[in-house]
């Protein structure tokens, strides 16, 4: 019973350590994969930086003058780098209600004006239909590409949305494409957005000081910093920023927010480690206690072994081995339970099943250290027992 309780104490400590750290890995994986939907190897040029509010802390980035249409188009023309560049903006209303027949969406659908390269830089893929043609982009035609969630809301499974005319606000638009379902990143979901040619937004959804954003996707991740440097130089010239002045725009990588959030998980890792170590300290005391009791109860056994020729080292190694076996059984049990508990977060965040090998190795090593520290004193006590006195023990 004492052995079982000691194993459970050790397994609980390792379970807490491995479980929490596995959950943190799942959260980091979810953040990374979700923000990757914004386009891998992509950075954006905007008129203001990211505003992140976590707990009581908030970042307040500078906001610069708006980026107008001409500046965005000039950048596309002048940026000579092996990369794909796109310009896009939101409509004046920002969100709208879409209708088809008697069906309509909630009034929270994002309406975006995009160019021909937007879907490449944003990581979106067209599942049905096609992208905008050069003629549609040039003329600002009334055509639209909708997200999968909108398609499911407006059209039944028997109705093909391609070619149908829907209402966006007061305007009529022909559906030419449906995006593949991709889920949502924090703050944005392509599944709940619709996209029209950027010229159409300028003509029918314009507003004063209409602000545009520029996305650049480099072909090689190793060229990211070089591309950012080149883009900064080109856009400073377009914005007429004087030498020595700071940039009048912000450059944001698609994974900036993910990196900020992931950096916060280091505090959780420290907390999980402390919890695990405190529990393992209690397990070490329990393991030492059970081994000391075991030495006392098996004194006659030790005397008999010594009487038939067992050496001190043999007795010491026997009790150390027992302590290590007990600790490792608890460690393995804790690792297995911790992995499954941690992967509950993976299921919630739709992340793949995670086997945290570094944390598994850490758990096993910690159990080995606990066994050595807890078993060395009882093992030495057993090894030093006098065989004559041990045989007399009742």
- What are 249-275's pLDDT values in tens digits? 998 886 665 666 666 667 777 777 787
Domain boundary among 253, 273, 306: 253
Give which of 330, 352, 385 is closest to 15, Cα–Cα: 330
Do residues 373 and 287 make contact, with C-beta atoms less than 8 angstroms apart?
Answer: no
In this structure, are 25 and 172 located in the same domain? no
In this structure, are 364 and 290 located in the same domain? yes
In this structure, are 62 and 146 located in the same domain? yes
Do the strands 188-189 and 98-100 form a parallel or antiparallel pair, or are they unpaired?
A: unpaired
Q: What is the rounded CA–CA span in Å between residue 377 and residue 35?
A: 53
Do the strands 250-253 and 98-100 form a parallel or antiparallel pair, or are they unpaired?
A: unpaired
Do the strands 193-197 and 143-146 form a parallel or antiparallel pair, or are they unpaired?
A: antiparallel
Helix ranges, the chain (H): 2-35, 69-78, 118-121, 134-139, 148-154, 198-204, 224-239, 256-297, 299-307, 312-348, 357-383, 387-391
The confidence score (pLDDT) of residue 259 equals 65
Burial of 43 (0-12, 13-18, 19+ CB in 10 A): buried
Residue 289 confidence class, pLDDT cut points 50, 70, 90: confident
In this structure, are 124 and 219 located in the same domain? yes
Residue 351 confidence class, pLDDT cut points 50, 70, 90: confident
Cβ atoms < 10 Å from Cβ of 169: 17
Predicted confidence (pLDDT) at residue 57 exceeds the cutoff of 60: no
Q: What is the rounded CA–CA span in Å between residue 237 and residue 258?
A: 30
In this structure, are 8 and 56 located in the same domain? no
Burial string for 107-123 (b: 16+ CB within 10 Å, else e) reads eebbbbbbbbbbbbbbb
The confidence score (pLDDT) of residue 51 equals 57
Do residues 324 and 376 make contact, with C-beta atoms less than 8 angstroms apart?
Answer: no
Domain boundary among 226, 253, 280: 253
pLDDT in tens, 209-221: 899 999 999 888 7
pLDDT in tens, 185-195: 444 556 788 99
Point out which residues pair with 104 in neighbouring strands: 99
Domain boundary among 229, 253, 277: 253
Q: What is the rounded CA–CA span in Å between residue 88 and residue 103?
A: 28
What the block records as the tokens of 347 is 């299921």
**Number of residues that this document lists for the chain:** 394
Give the DSSP letter string of 33-87: HHHGGG-TTEEEEESB----EETTEE----B-PPP-HHHHHHHHHH--SSEEEEE
The confidence score (pLDDT) of residue 162 equals 94
Question: For the ranges 47-51, 331-335, 357-361, which has the lowest average pLDDT?
Answer: 47-51
Point out which residues pair with 250 in neighbouring strands: 46
Cβ atoms < 10 Å from Cβ of 80: 8
In this structure, are 149 and 245 located in the same domain? yes
Q: What is the rounded CA–CA span in Å between residue 200 and residue 108?
A: 20
What the block records as the tokens of 252 is 């944001």
Using a pLDDT cut of 70, give the percent of the chain over it. Answer: 88
In this structure, are 233 and 264 located in the same domain? no
The confidence score (pLDDT) of residue 58 equals 55
Quote the domain boundaries for residue 18.
Answer: 2-33+259-391
Enumerate long-range contacts of 220-224, CB under 8 Å, 24 or more apart: 220/41, 220/82, 221/40, 221/41, 223/82, 223/83, 224/41, 224/43, 224/253
In this structure, are 302 and 201 located in the same domain? no
In this structure, are 12 and 88 located in the same domain? no
In this structure, are 90 and 189 located in the same domain? yes
Cα 273 versus chain centre, distance: 20
Tracing tokens 């302590």 back to the chain, one arrives at 323
In this structure, are 140 and 273 located in the same domain? no
- The number of domains in the chain is 2
How much is the average pLDDT of 313-323? 91
In this structure, are 149 and 228 located in the same domain? yes
For 66, 231, 232, 233, 249, the CA distances from 246, given in Å and listed in that order, are 16, 15, 11, 12, 9
Predicted confidence (pLDDT) at residue 148 exceeds the cutoff of 80: yes
């Amino acid at each position: 019973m004492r052995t079982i309780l000691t194993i459970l104490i050790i397994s609980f400590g390792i379970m807490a350590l491995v479980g929490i750290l596995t959950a943190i890995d799942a959260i980091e994986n979810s953040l990374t994969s979700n923000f990757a939907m914004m386009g891998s190897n992509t950075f954006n040029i905007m008129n203001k930086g990211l505003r992140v509010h976590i707990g009581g802390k908030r970042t307040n980035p500078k906001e610069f003058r708006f980026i107008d249409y001409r500046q965005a188009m000039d950048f596309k023309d002048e940026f000579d780098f092996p990369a794909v560049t796109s310009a896009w903006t939101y409509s004046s209303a920002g969100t709208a209600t879409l209708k088809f027949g008697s069906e309509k969406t909630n009034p929270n659908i994002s309406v975006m004006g995009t160019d021909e390269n937007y879907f490449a830089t944003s990581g979106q893929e067209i599942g049905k239909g096609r992208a905008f043609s050069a003629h549609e982009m040039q003329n600002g035609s009334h055509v639209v590409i909708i997200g999968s969630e909108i398609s499911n809301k407006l059209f039944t499974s028997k109705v093909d949305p391609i070619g149908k005319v829907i209402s966006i606000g007061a305007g009529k638009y022909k559906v030419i494409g449906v995006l593949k379902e991709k889920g949502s990143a924090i703050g944005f979901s392509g599944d709940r957005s619709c996209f029209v040619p950027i010229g159409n937004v300028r003509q029918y959804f314009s507003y004063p000081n209409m602000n545009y954003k520029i996305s650049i996707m480099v072909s090689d991740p190793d060229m990211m910093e070089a591309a950012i440097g080149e883009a900064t130089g080109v856009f400073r010239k377009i914005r007429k920023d004087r030498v020595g002045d700071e940039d009048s725009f912000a450059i944001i990588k698609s994974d900036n927010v993910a990196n900020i959030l992931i950096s916060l998980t280091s505090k959780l890792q420290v907390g999980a480690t402390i919890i695990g170590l405190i529990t393992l300290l209690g397990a070490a005391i329990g393991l030492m206690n059970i081994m000391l009791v075991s030495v006392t109860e098996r004194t006659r056994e030790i005397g008999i072994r010594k009487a038939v020729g067992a050496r001190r080292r043999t007795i010491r190694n026997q009790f150390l081995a027992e302590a290590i076996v007990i600790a490792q059984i608890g460690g393995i049990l804790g690792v297995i339970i911790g992995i499954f508990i941690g992967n509950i977060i993976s299921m919630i965040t739709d992340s793949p099943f995670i086997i945290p090998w570094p944390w598994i190795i850490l758990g096993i090593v910690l159990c080995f250290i606990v066994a050595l520290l807890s078993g060395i004193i009882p093992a030495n006590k057993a090894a030093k027992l006098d065989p004559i006195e041990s045989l007399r023990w009742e």
